[in-house]
Structure formats: structure tokens, C-alpha cells
Amino acid sequence: MICFEIVLVAVCSNDVNNFLRRIFKAKKEVGEIRTYPSDGMFASGKNKLFTLIELLVVIAVIAILAAMLMPALARARQEARRISCSSNGRQLGLATMMYLNDWNDFFPPADSQDNLQRWFGVRDTEQEPWEVEGSPLYPYLQAGEISQCPAFVDPDPGFEDGAGGYGYNSQYIGGTPSTDWEESLQPARMGLITNSSGTIMFGDTALLDDQTFAGEAFDLIEYPFVEAPEFEAWGMGTTPSTHFRHLEQANHVFVDGRAASRRMKHTQAGFYGYSTADQQRFNIGYVAEDNSPYDRE
């Protein structure tokens, strides 16, 4: 990233140097200067290299070039964050694949009936924070931790902190669509997934929170589950959780371990009191209008 910025600055500097050389050459041709002044740029007399107006022109050119480069630099930074985030997601996918090998092709459970276990952590009581040690994926994680998405800032701690800004497909992969609570917690087996390259396993996630922060009516908090548009067993809509934070795209990891970015295709209000417009404003939604990218088929 730093090297990229240095190259851009070098290009800018080269353009300015060429511009200065052209000015000097033109002045020399019309006889305003004969030799390069020995006592500095602002020497008096006919040997004066630049006038004040010419210096202001040069400064203006530099300012214009900088203004042209800044959007490109900002986009390059965002793209670098997206790539880093995608790498984090692939690490989660790799850890899941190793878990499958050790657990007879069963996926890690998304959560537990006592609400003390998640795919990303465990806790002794509901009042305590989540700890990655003891989670299903912990033995397989690089450096024993879940890396934070570099584009996700969480100024207001939420009730599900610790997943790094990533969510797991709890309805179809880490669980089972069912109206029975105990059955709904049973994770899928790899053989049940008929389209591993098209079924989402992990994704960038967040939820709207109604706490005021920095003048905003809402804030974003972590949420560790990537929701499909509908609860299949109940026949009702969900609250969207996919956060399209990377240049209006969200990174996803599919069951086959492949990582890819997707744009938002649909959103809805959900059941926490927010409107569809609120979700759109914060780029929270789904990659499709139906459950097809999330289900087991």
C-alpha cells in the first residue's frame, strides 16, 4: 500500500518537474534568462528564474494533481482492506475444513441451547464476554484468534463481540431449519450441501444499534450470523445482517472454501424496529431476494 502511494507521488513529482523544465526552457528561448542564477531562485535582475505568478501557477498545478490523486489513493486503501478482509475469511474457511476432517464431515455448531457457546467463542455466564478459547474453531485458527475486519469499526460494544465482524450461516450450515429449538441447533453434514461452491458459509456482518454515537441516530455493532432473507421453518422474514462495507460489496466464503465479493440485491426492515431505508443507508441487506445462496441445495 505504501509503495503504491510512493509511486503515485513520484508520478506527480515527475509531472511537476517536466512542467518546470518547460517553463525554464520557454523563458530562456525568449531571452529573459541567460544563465542559471548563482544566488538562488529569487535572484534579482534579468537572471530571475521565476516570477511570483509562475510560482503560484506551479502550486496550483500541484494542488490539482493532488486532488486528482486523492480519490484514487482512498479507493486503493479501501481495496487493500477488502483484500485483507477476504484473507481473514479464507482463514475461517480453512479452519472449518480442518474441523470437518476431524468431526466426521459435520460443520461446527453455530450456537448452543444454553446460550453460552458460539462458533467463535464460549463464556461461563451470559454477562461475561466471549472468549475464543474453547470455541469449535479455536484449535484450527491461525495464531489462535479470529482476525478483525480492517474496514469494520465498532465504536459501540455489542452483545455478540468477538467474531471480528464476520457471520456464520447458522440457519443452514451451523444449524438446521426447524421449529424445534433443539433440532435447529444441529449443524449440517457436508454431504447435505448439494452446491458447495454456491452456498454461503461466512460473510461480512453487522447489525444496527439504536444507541446514539457521534451524532448518528444509529450505530453498527457486531453480529456473528449471516442471515438469509427468510426463516425457512417459520415462513417469516429475518433481520438483514450482511454488511456491504467494501466499496458497497461484502466478502463471502462459500462451503468449498472459495472467497468472493458480492453486491447487495435486497434488504428489508427486519424486526428490531428499523426501516428498510435505515438498512439501505448503512449498506445492510442480502445478496439475493430469496434463500438460494444460503440454503443447502
What does the pLDDT look like over 66-105, one tens digit per residue?
888 888 888 888 899 999 999 999 999 999 999 999 999 9
Distance CA 223, CA 229 (A): 16
**Is the pLDDT confidence value at 155 over 60?**
no
The domains of the chain are located at 2-72, 89-285
C-alpha dist (Å) from residue 143 to 83, 115, 138, 243: 19, 26, 9, 26
C-alpha dist (Å) from residue 198 to 10, 32, 112, 144, 257: 43, 71, 26, 28, 10
What does the pLDDT look like over 88-99, one tens digit per residue?
999 999 999 999
C-alpha dist (Å) from residue 79 to 86, 151, 248, 289: 10, 10, 11, 27
pTM score, whole prediction: 0.77
- Amino acid (one-letter) located at 4: F
Extract the C-alpha cell encoding 218: 444509529
Instruction: Evaluate whether 234 touches 181 at the Cβ level (below 8 Å).
Output: no
- Residue 213 — very low, low, confident or very high, per pLDDT cuts 50/70/90? very low
Instruction: Evaluate whether 266 touches 274 at the Cβ level (below 8 Å).
Output: no
Angle at 269 between CA 265 and CA 270, to 5 degrees: 105
Q: How far is CA 184 from the centre of its chain?
A: 30
Contacts of 253 (CB under 8 A, 6+ apart): 89, 90, 92, 93, 200, 201, 202, 203, 259
